C-alpha cells in the first residue's frame, strides 16, 4: 500500500471552504482506501490530510480524475502553502476501507 | 472527531516485530474510526501511526483496554523513541469506519 501524510496552510479565513472542496472530491477515487481531512487545532489555517492507497499508481491516476482536477482548480486559490509531504508504506490497521 | 499522527522509531531491526504488535491490538477499540500503521520508506526503523477516534475520551479510554495495555508492555522494549506526536481534528473523508 501507499500512504501520504500532508500538511497544507489555507489562505487566512479560508480553511473551512478549502476543507469542503477537499471532502467533495474524496469519494469514488479508485484504489483509495483511506482519505482523512483534518483541522490542526493548534493552527487556525492548517489542514492535515492522511491517505492510504492500494498502490502509488492508483494515487497518481487519481490526480487525473475530473473530480480531482476540479477540486484542485477550485482549491488552489485558497491554498497559501504546502508544509509537509510525507510518503509512507501502510502495513495494515483498522478503517482501511475497500477500494473507493 | 479526534485524530493523531505519530512517528516512532523502533530499536534497530525490530520494526516488523513492533508493527505486528501494534496491529494485533487495533481491532475492537471502542470509538476507533481509523488506525493505520505504516513503515517510513525513507527510514528503516521508523513507523507512522495515523488515528481517527470519535472523541478524545474514546482514545484516552482505549489506553486502559487489556489488549492495548498488553501491546504497550510487549512493544515498549522495541521502541527506541517517539519522534512526532500531532493532534488533529478530523472533519471527514473516506475510509473512516464505523466505531471499532
B97 pLDDT tier (thresholds 50, 70, 90) = low
**For residue A100, what pLDDT is reported?**
45
Average pLDDT over residues B16-21: 97
At B32, give phi and psi (nearest 5°). -85, 120
Average pLDDT over residues B51-58: 97
Q: What is the pLDDT of residues B65-89, one digit of tens each?
A: 999 999 999 999 999 999 999 999 9
At B96, give phi and psi (nearest 5°). -95, 100
Determine whether B6 is exposed, middle or buried from the number of CB atoms within 10 Å of its CB (0-12, 13-18, 19+): middle
Is residue A60 helix, strand or coil? helix
From the list B37, B41, B88, which residue is nearest A48 (CB)? B88
Q: What is the ipTM for the molecules in this complex?
A: 0.93
Nearest CA among B79, B84, B83 for reference residue B11: B79
Interface of chain A toward chain B, CB-CB under 8 angstroms: 1, 3, 5, 19, 23, 26-27, 29, 32-42, 48, 50, 52, 86-97, 100
**For residue B92, what pLDDT is reported?**
94
B98 pLDDT tier (thresholds 50, 70, 90) = low
Residues in chain A with pLDDT < 50? Answer: 99-100
B26 pLDDT tier (thresholds 50, 70, 90) = confident
CA distance B98 to B33: 6
Q: What is the mean pLDDT of chain B?
A: 93
Compare A5 and B25 and report the one with higher pLDDT. A5
Domains of chain B by range and CATH?
Answer: 2-88 (3.30.70.100)
CA distance A73 to B92: 21
What is the number of other CB atoms lying within 10 angstroms of the CB of residue B54?
18
Helix and strand numbers (H, E) in chain B are: 3, 4
Q: Which residues, 6+ apart, have CB-to-CB distance to A68 below 8 Å?
A: A25, A29, A62
**Whether the Cβ atoms of residue B48 and residue B32 lie closer than 8 Å to each other:** no
Amino acid at each position: 500500500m501507499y500512504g501520504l501524510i500532508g500538511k497544507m496552510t489555507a489562505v487566512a479565513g479560508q480553511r473551512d471552504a478549502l476543507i469542503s472542496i477537499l471532502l467533495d472530491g474524496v469519494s469514488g477515487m479508485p484504489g483509495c482506501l483511506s482519505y482523512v481531512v483534518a483541522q490542526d487545532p493548534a493552527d487556525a489555517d492548517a489542514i492535515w490530510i492522511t491517505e492510504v492507497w492500494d498502490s502509488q499508481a492508483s494515487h497518481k491516476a487519481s490526480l487525473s480524475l475530473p473530480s480531482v482536477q476540479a477540486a484542485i482548480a477550485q482549491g488552489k486559490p485558497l491554498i497559501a502553502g504546502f508544509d509537509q509531504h510525507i510518503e509512507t508504506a501502510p502495513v495494515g490497521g483498522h478503517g482501511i476501507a475497500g477500494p473507493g
